[in-house]
Structures are given as structure tokens and as C-alpha cells.
């Protein structure tokens, strides 16, 4: 699996690429040490919600560690 394919090797659509970009952005934000606690909690919630989407579409097989 690469950044441009799903877990079955199928190329991502433009919409799927946008979803993965948003997911990766939230992953990076969740790893930030200097976020306020409320911001960190909300980023974690958003990441968990978006993970449901990308996981159900087979775009990633990893789980976020929040």
C-alpha cells in the first residue's frame, strides 16, 4: 500500500486523496506537544471520526494513537 493506493492496491480517487490528506494532517496535529488540552482533545475526536471514514473505505489499515 502506498500513499496513492488503498489497502488492495487500487488507485485513490481525488476525493479519497483529500480524505487521506485531512487524516494525515490531523495525525500530525495530534502529535503536537504544544496544543492546549482542549484543542488536543478535539483534534483526537476529529481524528477518530475521520479514521472511521478512511478505515471503512479501505484507505488505511492503521489506527490512530490518540
What are 25-52's pLDDT values in tens digits? 999 999 999 999 999 999 999 999 999 9
* The pLDDT value given to residue 11: 94
CA pair distance 48, 46, nearest whole angstrom: 5
Percent of the chain with pLDDT over 90: 79
Specify the higher pLDDT residue, 44 or 2: 44
pTM of the model: 0.87
Contact 12, 18 (CB under 8 A): no
| 55: containing domain | 1-66
Tell me how many domains the chain contains. 1
CA pair distance 63, 66, nearest whole angstrom: 9
Amino acid at each position: 500500500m502506498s500513499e496513492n493506493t488503498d489497502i488492495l492496491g487500487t488507485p485513490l480517487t481525488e476525493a479519497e486523496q483529500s480524505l487521506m490528506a485531512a487524516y494525515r494532517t490531523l495525525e500530525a496535529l495530534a502529535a503536537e506537544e504544544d496544543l492546549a488540552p482542549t484543542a488536543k482533545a478535539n483534534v483526537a475526536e476529529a481524528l477518530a471520526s475521520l479514521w472511521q471514514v478512511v478505515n471503512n473505505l479501505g484507505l488505511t489499515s492503521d489506527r490512530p494513537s490518540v
